[in-house]
Amino acid sequence: MRTTAVAVVAAALSVVLAAPAVAAPAVAAPAVAALPGPEAGTGNATDTGDHRATRQALQAAVAAGVPGVTATARDRRGTWSATAGVGDLRTGQKRSPHDRYRVGSITKTFVATVLLQLEAEGRLSLDDTVDTRLPGLVTGNGHDGTRITLRQLLNHTSGIFDYTADEDYRRAYSTKEGFFEHRYDTRAPEDLVRVALAHEPYFEPGAPEKWMYSNTNYVLAALVIEKATGRPYGEEVHRRIIEPLHLTATSVPGTRVSLPRPSSRAYSKLGPPATEPTYDVTRLNPSRAFSAGEMISDSKDLNRFYRALLTGRLLPAEQLDEMTTTVPVTTGMDYGLGLMKVTLSCGTNVWGHSGGISGSRTGTGTTKDGRHSLAFNFNGDWAGNSTAIMEAEFCGD
C-alpha cells in the first residue's frame, strides 16, 4: 500500500511530464489582459519523417490551452522538429525548435548520473548512509539520516518529506500574492532541507511497498556530491556531462533569473485555470528548486543526454544497471535512480523523466537502445495532454 500522493505523482509521471517536478506554479509578471486564440500550425526545423500523429498531438495541446509547444525527435530516419502555438502571447511570435526552457525535475537525472559516476570512481557507495556523508543534517521529527541510504534518496524510497509540499512554501510560490513577493528570493539548499525536516517522514526508510516522490531527496543528493568533490554540484554536472556531450543549450543557472536566448516566454495561471488570468512567469530565481529542478536545456540536448546515458557513454555497465533497476510506482510506470520507465499502450518502454516548474512542463522519452528519443516542452503549466504526444511518437505513425 503506497501513500495516496503516489496517485497524483503517477498521473503526471506516467505521461512523462509535469506535476511532481519541483514546485507548483510560482513566479510571475503582470497578467496578460487578452489572450489570442490557440495557434495550431506547426513549423519544422529538420523534417526526416512524417510524424503525422505527433504533429496532431502538438496541435491538440495548443487547442486545449497550452500557449505553445516545441518538440524534437530522433530515430532511424534522423532528426525531426516541430512547433505549435506561440512563444509570446503579446507579440504572437512562434515557438522555435531551438528554444531553451526550464526543465524542472529532469535535473534529477543529471544529479543521479554524477552520483553514480562518483560511485564508479570509488569515492562513495550507494549503500552509504546520508549521515555518513552529511553528518547530523537529517534528523528530527522522525527523520534519521543514519538509516537512509543514498540509493533510497535516488529512488524516492527514503520517506523524507517533500519540502515543496509544505504549506508555507506553497503559499510563497503557488499563489499570486506569494509569487509577487518571493519571485526573486534566493533559497539556500540547507533551508529547503530544514523546511522538509519540520514535518514527519512519510514512512520508514525502505519500508516494503512504499514509495513517495520527494524533491528533498535530490537536494540532499547534490549536497553529497558537493561534500565528496569539494565543488558545487553544478560545476560537476558541467564538467562531467555538459562539456563531454557538447550540450551547448544546457546550464545550471543557480540564482540567474533570466532564460538564455533563444527562448520563449513562460506562462502560468497561478490559480484555477478556468477562472484566473494568464501571467508571464519567465523570470524567476530557480534556487527554490536547486538540484531538484533548476536546470535549463533544449529538446536537442535532452535527446542527446538520454541517448548517451542509456547507451553507456556516461556510466559503466554496473552503474547503468543500478540506475535502471526500478521500483514499481503504479501500473505502467517504474522509477529507477533519477530515471523513469514508462510502458506505453503499444508495449514500448521509454526511459526518461518529467519536469515541471512555473510556466514550463517538459517531457522526455528514449528507448533503452537509444535509437528513438523525444523531448518536448509546453510553455504553460495548466493544460495539454502530454500522454498523447508520447503515445503518438512511439506508438503512432
Alpha-carbon distances of 128 from 119, 122, 149, 236, rounded to whole Å = 10, 12, 5, 20
pLDDT digits (tens, 9 = 90+) for 275-286: 889 999 999 999
**Of 8-12, 266-270, 291-295, minimum mean pLDDT range:** 8-12
Mean pLDDT of 116-138: 98
Q: Dihedral of the CA atoms 266, 272, 275, 279 (nearest 10)?
A: -20
CB atoms within 10 A of CB 181: 14
What average pLDDT does the structure give for the chain?
Answer: 89
Percentage of the chain lying above the pLDDT 90 cut: 84
Euclidean distance between CA atoms 217 and 309, whole angstroms: 21
Calculate the CA 190 to chain-centre distance.
21
Catalogue the E-assigned strands of the chain. Answer: 31-32, 42-44, 68-75, 78-85, 101-102, 139-140, 143-144, 267-268, 278-280, 296-297, 327-330, 333-335, 340-343, 349-352, 354-357, 360-366, 373-378
Name the least confident of 171-175, 183-187, 223-227, 347-351.
171-175
- pTM, rounded to two decimals: 0.90
Q: What is the mean pLDDT of residues 152-179?
A: 96
Helix (H) or strand (E) holding 222: helix 215-229
pLDDT digits (tens, 9 = 90+) for 37-47: 222 333 333 44
Contacts 24+ apart (CB under 8 A), 127-130: 127/151, 130/158, 130/220, 130/224
- Tens of pLDDT, residues 69-98: 999 999 999 999 999 999 999 999 999 999
Distances (CA, A) of 66 to 84, 147, 266, 383, 387: 9, 43, 10, 6, 14
**Region 118-140 average pLDDT:** 98
Q: Which of 281, 267, 290, 240 has the alpha carbon at shortest distance from 104? A: 290
Question: What's the N-to-C CA distance of the chain in angstroms?
Answer: 38
pLDDT at residue number 238:
98
Instruction: Name which of 5, 46, 105 is nearest 356 in CA terms.
Output: 105
User: Catalytic site residues?
Assistant: 105
Contact 288, 185 (CB under 8 A): yes
- Residue 276's pLDDT is what? 84
